[in-house]
Structure 1
Amino acid sequence: MNAPSSELIERLSNTLQAQTDHLIELRRQLHAHPELSQHEFETTRTMVARLQELGFTTFVRPEGTGFYADLTPVGFDPEIHPTIAIRSDIDALPINELNDVPYKSQNPGVMHACGHDVHMATVFGSALGLLDLKDHLPGRLRLIYQHAEETVPGGATEMVDFGAIDGVDAVLGLHCDPELPIGRVGVRPGPFTASFDLFELTIEGKGGHGARPHQCTDPIFVGTQVANALYQLPAHNFDARIPAVITLGSFQAGAVANVIPESASLSGSIRTISPEHRDQLDDLLRRIIGGICLAHGASYELKLIRGAPAIHNDPYLTDAITEIATDILGDQGIYRIPLPSMGGEDFSVYCERVPGAMFRLGTGARAPRNFLHSPHFNIDERALTIGASILARTALRLLHEKALEKKTDRMVRPL
């Protein structure tokens, strides 16, 4: 049998509907107690305790932030039974919340403004639904609660090194989208997000009097030439049909109006959906920056910080998510995303190792300035059950399909 029965699906749906208030309560508790990247100690303890109460076996990183948890049926054998993982990130942002709600952040200057509280609650909801079917699961369910998604490099690599993806046949994820209304999800096979890398550049010149620039090597002037060249780099070095964006976020130099400073510091981000473009960046940056500095008699120091690669959603998994979301929400509930986002997401680290797919969960709440990373970010909490249902049903379907694949593979394997 390669598909769950209608009875199992109905049972799962009923369980999740009955747990709606529980998921809202959990999301609000997490929202009120956000923690920054690499400091998610209480968040980790909270989620570990809840999953241990359900009978999950938990594996916490020695650092105390981030963990994975397994729901393993009796008689599980990795040779013949698959493992499907569902991932949630758990960290918050250094943002002071401006919402006036009973569950407002109690940690000043820290807020779940990217919806990781929502991700945690929906993934927990999928666990509640599948726990009720434990005796009928043809494989193992793994939940990955990952720390430090908001930093560069992200926590996904550390979770992979900790073994979170070992033995996993496929991984699923979701991300809040306040620009999609409740009852809709965004899907896209292939390129889904961009890679995200940072650079830090220091240009060393020769300072002096503002009235005598001929005696100086002005790092501000050199820096402006570099800035202009970097903004033009994608258009003149990459295939224009493949998106790539370089953004300068900081340009620091000097302190007074009549003095040419000794140095200037620039930093920014680089995003592309092309792995080939990404691999060319270090050489391109050094060639362009080095040429400009040489022409003006300046020197430079460049640091390139590699972040998350681009997400490329597995087409088969994306189709499975789409079919199940359509069954739950109807055709009108599916938004086929026309272009990849240029935002970064280290869910991509898992997708480089095993088939993976992420979808966007419509959480739109009618409020001004309600967008990701906003101090006003909030959600329509009906989205929790929708997200949990799609994750749980997709995982259930994949467990059945991968179990059949493994059985078939063993049957045809030569002796």
Structure 2
Amino acid sequence: MSTDTTTNLNQLASDLKEQVISWRRHLHQNPEVSFHEENTAQFIFDTLHSFGNLEISRPTKTSVMARLIGNQPGKTLAIRADMDALPIEEENTFEFASKNPGVMHACGHDGHTAMLLGTAKILSGLKDQIKGEVRFLFQHAEELFPGGAEEMVQAGVMDGVDLVIGTHLWSPMEIGKVGVVYGPMMAAPDTFWITVKGKGGHAALPHQTIDSIAIAAQVVTNLQHIVSRNTDPLDSLVISVTQILGGTTHNVIPGAVTLWGTVRTLDPKLRESIPGKMERVVKGITEAHEGSYDLKYEFGYRPVINNNEVTAVIEETVREVFGEEALDMMRPNMGGEDFSAFMEKAPGCYFYVGAGNEAEGITYPHHHARFTIDEDALEIGVKTFLHATFKFLGRSL
């Protein structure tokens, strides 16, 4: 990429910075939860329509796709942004805080959407320089399984796509950094429910009962043996029991206890083995104490596994546009993301844009009622998308 092209793209992104921030604030003030993003989708549709040069459609009820078909033949690149909010009561007090009670953009999806709108606006004005096609995917319902990505894929948004990229604003990372991971970078988030069944009775006469709470406590403890003693220490595995429901009062041993939790894995083969290993543990413990059980295991999103060649282009882009000091070669994390559904159809890369600022107090974690971002991160995201687009469409992968 020439120096003139780099300078021009950077200037276009800088010129649009305040507009991108304005879009983000509008979205932040008007959040909608997963599968209910009707107003959000309409706002995106209308905004895209104002740009020109785009073919705009609604693949599903609350998603939007825009196609920018260049004047020259070439590959098709898809860029994705999620746009749903969370059922959280916002505690921030800035003027663009959520107007919708109990709903908040607490994960940065408002910023993701604003960055992709900015990218679409700039690229739509450069149609004559585009080789191939850029497809802008505004996805609903990332936060709620079964997720919106799979619905969009089934609706055909990835048909003919050669590669796909996306990003996540990341508050644990300081502004100015861009995080890149090769290979597995986010986990498969699966869910389980275990009901431990015993025989209830008076708490003063435990010998007349089969104590479901005592059995469940052993189940919780022994599930961790799968992590520490049944799994290669070099493989990543999390098993977390996050909810225990059982009992009604202090002097009654309940007849049943329900455990609810999550399993996180990066390796697909390890993932497939976990339900059987869990069942062996639960069955052994409950039968040893004359109880019984029900186990339900639900596979969630697939792990996000970055393609090495696509990731190398993102790494190269960061180095060239922002400098060596901006690049953070990160380790994977055990969060989940349905961006993986798009990667089933085309090689891709999902990367992070730092959005935290300790000096400004922008340090709250994702999904927190005080979460926010340093809005300077939006310009960084737009620049990364712009430069990466021309790199991808100007070379062979």
- Asked if TM exceeds 0.5, the reply is yes
Q: Specify the alignment match of 2:394 in structure 1.
A: 400
Comparing 351-360 with 241-250, greater Cα deviation is found at 351-360
* 1:12–1:132 CA contact under 8 A, matched in 2: no
Identity %: 38
- What are the equivalent positions in structure 2 for 1:14-413 lying under 5 Å apart? 14-55=11-52, 56-62=54-60, 64-74=61-71, 81-337=74-330, 339-365=331-357, 366-367=360-361, 369-402=363-396
Counterpart of 2:28 in structure 1: which amino acid? Answer: H
Counterpart of 2:57 in structure 1: which amino acid? Answer: F
Q: CA deviation at 1:54?
A: 1.8
Quick check: which one's strand share is greater? 2
* Cα RMSD, aligned residues only: 1.5
2-structure distance, mates of 1:162, 1:208: 54
**TM-score, normalization: structure 1?**
0.91
1-structure distance, mates of 2:385, 2:182: 17
For this pair of structures, how many residues does the alignment match?
394
Q: Specify the alignment match of 1:412 in structure 2.
A: none
1-structure distance, mates of 2:6, 2:125: 11
Q: Specify the alignment match of 1:408 in structure 2.
A: none
Distance 1:382 1:368, change over 3 A: closer
2-structure distance, mates of 1:175, 1:203: 39
Partner of 1:192, secondary structure, is strand
Q: Deviations for 1:242-272, whole angstroms, at most 9, x for unmatched residues?
A: 1111111100100111111111110000001
List alignment gaps of at least 5 residues for structure 1: 406-415
Q: CA deviation at 1:33?
A: 0.6
Q: Deviations for 1:113-163, whole angstroms, at most 9, x for unmatched residues?
A: 100001001111111221121111111100111111111222211111111
* 1:182–1:383 CA contact under 8 A, matched in 2: yes
List alignment gaps of at least 5 residues for structure 2: none
* 1:208–1:260 CA contact under 8 A, matched in 2: yes
Partner of 2:131, secondary structure, is coil
Q: CA deviation at 1:320?
A: 1.0
Q: CA deviation at 1:368?
A: 6.0
